[in-house]
Amino acid sequence: MDDSTQRSEPRLDRRQFLAGATGVGAASVGLGSGLVGRASAQQGTTHKVAMITEGSEYIFDPIGLYIEPGDTVQFYIDSGDHSATAYHPNNPRASTRRIPEGAANFDSGTLTEKGAAYEHTFETKGTYDYYCIPHKTLGMVGRLVVGEPGGPATESPIPDKPGSGIMPPSDKIVEEKKISYPYVPETGGGSLPGLALGGAALFALANTYLLSDYDVRSGRYSEEEFEDDTETGR
């Protein structure tokens, strides 16, 4: 090959080379950033629910929790032996379904060591009721709302009463995001247990008065029995 042929070949200027390299690098970075962004968007938040034995009570705390679709819940042993098990016909001791249609079933099995944990990621929107296998009938139940209320858990009362208080409604969970155990709703005149005790006291007082008035009017007691004791010294 002669010199004229060599001179006719195009040469890549140093500045052109650097500009090209920079462009390729920027495109690579942009592509990488997009992938990282998509991965971050797909990775949900992890929430924690403690499983607790406290005296004669067996507790999920919080008893009510709101999460977004794609979030994960970690159920962990604070004390005692417990499970986190969905109300689903395929699970032990659950004869009814109380999770949304199409939602993935979950069951941790009974965990026995302090700090042991089970995680489940919730993708389907709706209300999820769950329980502890050993303590279901003793009131160890909980509720999650994923995205928005819905499904069988919103159509009928939970079959197992929470130990203290009541199961928080789905809309209340959405409003407050996290509800600690126990949930005792305010009625404007005090908590439900307080109102119940107050009502019982008023009923007993009224009943006592009516019985006393009846005894006096019935003539069972003579007037002498009602004379002033201050004069007799009794």
**132 and 77 share a domain?**
yes
Beta bridge partners of 119: 74
To the question of whether residue 1 is assigned a binding role by annotation, the answer is no
Prediction pTM value: 0.66
**174 and 190 share a domain?**
no
**52 and 162 share a domain?**
yes
Q: Which domain holds residue 115?
A: 46-179
Determine, yes or no, domain membership for 98.
Answer: yes
Determine, yes or no, domain membership for 97.
Answer: yes
To the question of whether residue 132 is assigned a binding role by annotation, the answer is yes
* pLDDT, tens digit (0-9, with 9 covering 90-100), for 56-94: 999 999 999 999 999 999 999 999 999 999 999 999 999
Domain count, the chain: 2
**131 and 206 share a domain?**
no
**195 and 92 share a domain?**
no
What is the domain-level CATH number for residue 152? Answer: 2.60.40.420
**Residue 219 contacts by C-beta under 8 Å, 6 or more apart in sequence?**
none
- 63: closest CA among 192, 183, 193? 183
**150 and 193 share a domain?**
no
Phi and psi at 150, nearest 5°, equal: 160, 160
Q: How far is 57 from 163, CA to CA, in rounded Å?
A: 7
* pLDDT, tens digit (0-9, with 9 covering 90-100), for 114-173: 999 999 999 999 999 999 999 999 999 999 999 999 999 999 999 999 999 999 999 999
Determine, yes or no, domain membership for 125.
Answer: yes
**174 and 192 share a domain?**
no
pLDDT of amino acid 95? 86
To the question of whether residue 135 is assigned a binding role by annotation, the answer is yes
**87 and 158 share a domain?**
yes
pLDDT of amino acid 88? 98
Most confident region among 27-41, 118-132, 175-189 by mean pLDDT: 118-132
- Asked if omega into 159 is within 30° of 0 (cis), the reply is no
* pLDDT, tens digit (0-9, with 9 covering 90-100), for 189-225: 554 554 444 444 444 444 544 444 545 455 554 444 4
**213 and 109 share a domain?**
no
Determine, yes or no, domain membership for 155.
Answer: yes
What integer best gives the mean pLDDT of the chain?
A: 77
Q: How far is 85 from 168, CA to CA, in rounded Å?
A: 18
- Where do the DSSP E strands lie in the chain? 46-54, 57-61, 64-67, 72-77, 85-86, 117-121, 126-131, 141-146, 178-179
Q: How far is 163 from 55, CA to CA, in rounded Å?
A: 12
